Every structure is written in C-alpha cells, then in structure tokens.
Amino acid sequence: MTLIKSISGIRGTIGGKPGDGLSPLDVVKFGASYARWVKEASGKDKPVVVVGRDARISGQMVDALVCASLNGMGCQVVNIGLATTPTTELAVVKEQADGGIILTASHNPAQWNALKLLNGDGEFLSAEEGAKILAFAEAEDFNFAEVYELGTIEHKDYLQAHIDHVLKLELVDTDAIAKANFKVAFDAVNSVGGIAIPALLKALGVKTIVPINEEATGHFAHVPEPLPENLVETCSLVKENEIDVCFVVDPDVDRLSVISEDGSMFNEEYTLVAVADYILSETPGNTVSNLSSTRALRDITEKHGGSYTASAVGEVNVVKKMKETGAVIGGEGNGGVIYPASHYGRDALVGIALFLSLLAKSGKTCTELRKTYPDYFISKNKIELTPDIDVDAVLVQMKEKYKNEQVNDIDGVKIDFANEWVHLRKSNTEPIIRIYAESTKPEASQELAQRIIGEIKDIISI
C-alpha cells in the first residue's frame, strides 16, 4: 500500500493500515486539517467548501468521509458530485466559496484516490499553504465543532454551468464547428468525461458523436493515462470508423490528448501547441509551459511575435508564471491547457472547444494541421541512485559542466542546446534523477539522454 503526503494534497492506494494506504482515518485527518486551514485563511467559522469527484470505484466512500470531516469542523459543503477537476475549480469561483477539494487520483490506476486542494480562487494551493495543512495533519492539530456548530451539505450539479462558460468564450466558434460537420469520437476511460464530453460536443453543434469507454463506472477500460501505449485499441477504432478527430482524457478531465483521423496520435505535447497557435493568431501575447514541455510552444509563440517563458514543473508554478508574464495561454506538455480567459486551471473541455474551433476554421484534417508545427521528440528516462548519493550535488556538477550553454536551474537543471535540450530533475520521494531530453529526431533525443546518463554515472563513480 502507498500513501504520499505532499503540499498539493494526499494521494494513495485504497485500504491498508492507517498511514500505509489511503485509509478512512487518513482521509478524515487530512480533510479536517484542510478545514482548519480554510477556516484560518478565510477568517470564517463556517467557510464554504466545494467538493467534486471523479468516477473511480472508491469515490463515493472518500466523498462521504471528506464531506463528513468538513461538516464536523463546521464547514458548509457544496457537493457537486461526479464532476471534472475544472468544473470543480469553476464551481468554487461561481459559489464564491472559500475553497474546494477534488477527489481524484488523476491518471493513476483504479486502486488510487486523492484529495486535491483548492483555494478560494479555485486554484491549487501554494507550497506554503500546503505545508501548513501537512503540519496540522501531522500534529492532528484541529478541533471539531460542537453539535450546534456542525456544517451542512448542499447538493448541486455544475456541468451545465461549465458548458455555458465554455460556450461564452470569445474564441470558441460554435458556428464554424457546426458547419464543419465533424464526426467526433471521445475516449472517457469510464470516468466523468463520459458525462461531460458528450454534453459539451452537443452544445458545440457536433451532430455525429462516437463514444468510447463512455460509461462512468470507474472500471477503467485501459490504463487511464492518455499515452500512446494505452490507446492502441482506441486508435484502431478511430481509423476503422472514419472519425475526423478523437479526444482522449484522463479520469478527471484536465488532460487532453488528440487522435487524428488516420488513427495516429496528434501527440500529447502538441495539444497545447495547437491551441496556443489558435489563441495567438487571434490575441497575440505571451505563453508559459513547464521546463519539461516541448520547445515547439516557444517556436510558435515567437512566430506570432510573443515571448515564451518556462516555469518549474507543476500546475501551480505554471499559473504563477503566467500571471507574472501576462500570458494569454499556457499549460503543460501532458495535454494540460490553461486559458486565462476561462480560468487558471488545466481544462480539457476548454481545450476541446478551442481545438475544434481551430480545426473547423483551418479547413485542414488533423494530420494536415499537425504537419504545420515543428517536429520535436521527447525521450523520458530515469537513473536510479543509492540513498547515500547526494543528488543535489550531482545536479550542481552537471550545471557546472555545461555552464557555457543556456542553463535554467529553477527546477533541477535544464540545459538548452541549439537544437535540443535536456532536463534533469530529482524525485521528491525516491533517489531518482528523471532525465527528459528533446531533439528534432527520436534517435537524437535518446542519444542525448544516454550521453547525459553516462556523464552522471561518471560523476557518481568519482
């Protein structure tokens, strides 16, 4: 069993002894710790907290525990039930709530669940805020409310409000989408995307919709992370059924992958690139993605006369940098689209609407559209170290070795060469250095990664 406590929330496998897995006792303790934090942050005795969940098997149980814990601390709960992560984020804002909790383990398998924590802006907590909650949980430092001070639960459905919000975005062109007469498929991996995506597509004017793994049972039909190796069957279905475009999401619908009409992957890294190309063509400005995302976003941004900035890995870091630079679009290379005109959170529903608008107005097929963007290929590797090795010292030596190149050390060490880059990051939970390398050819990115791995091993052996 696994339980991971971090500044962004608590995540673990269901069952086991308290402290070993995500047990009911751990859920209650962490829910109460969050309640203490939100009461202090809001200055209210009865703050309002929005709770939403994905469709995984343990969701109903965890939902009941979290809501009871919040009520027990005196919080008023708005429970929006089965809902995407971005729907929950928007509900926090529309309810003028003081915070929110999303019950989802994102792309993790069915045995996992998690509590993801939001502030009153519907955005993920900062490192400092998360650290406070961890400290409360560690010390079990919270007082439950007396009987007349207990909170209550109100149940609401926010899906239509989210869809209406998307339709009102200026660059979502429902007329163009309807006229294109697309045949659109989607793979919801048996979670809340199966509820949200068909409703969105109908509202956008799509008449022919082909559902794949639509029923929100929580019994995922394939490994839920939307990567090529997990989508072989879906890609075959797209090609066999003459689909124009297929959208694939993770269980909480904040990551978006696209499959082209020939059954090939558009490439998860290029979801943001394509959406950014469309946004920048209409509203020129700056962009942000994290250090491990494709260089193609920088190229597209500069083509449109904007400025690109890289942030540390993590949605909260991307959002912070977007606000600092006034970015009009940003996100992460894992298919996470963050569009400030909507809200500061990864939102696959917004991504679908903008991608379809681009596809309709371009008059191109998905494969033709993909060919208009520069080709980069990322190789993802890791090197396992013994616990006695000082990982930070290794990264410092790699930074010194490449001091004459363009080096960014805000999150590990990223070394930018003329036509390629490599990003070295240490794991926070195990003695591992993750090595991401990107180049213009698959074999070149792998060669770069292996060269860097060799150099790290040389340092370790000295």
Catalytic residue IDs: 106
CA-wise closest residue to 380 among 337, 430, 335, 333: 333
**Beta strands, E only, 228-269:** 245-249, 256-259
Task: Give, for 310, the enclosing helix (H) or strand (E).
Answer: strand 308-311
Q: How far apart are CA 360 and CA 352, in angstroms?
A: 12
Q: How far apart are CA 54 and CA 217, in angstroms?
A: 10
CB atoms within 10 A of CB 374: 14
CA-wise closest residue to 292 among 412, 389, 403, 113: 412
Structure token digits, residue 291: 């250090």
Burial status of residue 152 (CB atoms within 10 A of its CB: 0-12, 13-18, 19 or more) = exposed
Q: How far apart are CA 425 and CA 412, in angstroms?
A: 4
Task: Give, for 134, the enclosing helix (H) or strand (E).
Answer: helix 127-139
The vertex-17 CA angle with 11 and 20, nearest 5°, equals 40
Burial status of residue 387 (CB atoms within 10 A of its CB: 0-12, 13-18, 19 or more) = exposed
HSE-up of residue 198 (Cα within 13 Å, Cβ side):
15
Q: How far apart are CA 242 and CA 182, in angstroms?
A: 11
Task: Give, for 354, the enclosing helix (H) or strand (E).
Answer: helix 348-362
Decide: helix, strand or coil at residue 446.
helix
Residue type (1 letter), 444 = A
Residue type (1 letter), 340 = P
CB atoms within 10 A of CB 364: 14
Q: How far apart are CA 146 and CA 165, in angstroms?
A: 39
Q: How far apart are CA 23 and CA 223, in angstroms?
A: 23
Q: Between β-strands 99-103 and 208-212, what pairing exists: parallel, antiparallel or unpaired? A: unpaired
Dihedral through CA 22, CA 23, CA 24, CA 25, nearest 10?
-110
